[in-house]
Structure 1
Amino acid sequence: MTIEEGIAIGGFGSAVTDILVDELGPNMPWMKRIALPDRFCKNYGVQNDLFEVYGLSPKQIARTVIDKVGLLGA
């Protein structure tokens, strides 16, 4: 799972995905990228407001991680 405060395309998550694909190929593990959407943000303001709108606040990130890891453990 990667988290970044920009868009996922071409960012940290993409770099991690590229490395995993190159190194592991079809054996690559499940991966989730948490990032801003790749579209114009209709809701804009201070950075923390954007994070709240797009699920990047600390509490929202924690919830996403817990939810996704819970699915993997099932």
Structure 2
Amino acid sequence: MKAEPAAAAPVQVQRPILPEFRTERARLRAEAMEWRENLEEHQVPAHIVAPSPPAEEQRPAEEDDQEEG
């Protein structure tokens, strides 16, 4: 018995985008690009580290225990 070849899947045709959606999509893409540019401008270079906390916070926990006792 010979099996018949499966029917080819229908080709999906890309439907045209309505003009309102096209302009909205373009607006959103432009806004996203602007956000990315702003992020790149405000990023801190990796070699710059945050300032260390004040000396008060850097004391070892042992000193705190001695003060309470």
Please, what TM-score do these two structures have when normalized by structure 1? Answer: 0.29
Normalised to the residue count of structure 2, the TM-score between the two structures is 0.30
Query: Which of the pair is proportionally richer in strand?
Result: 1
With a CA cutoff of 8 Å and minimum separation of 6, indicate the structure with the bigger relative contact order: 1
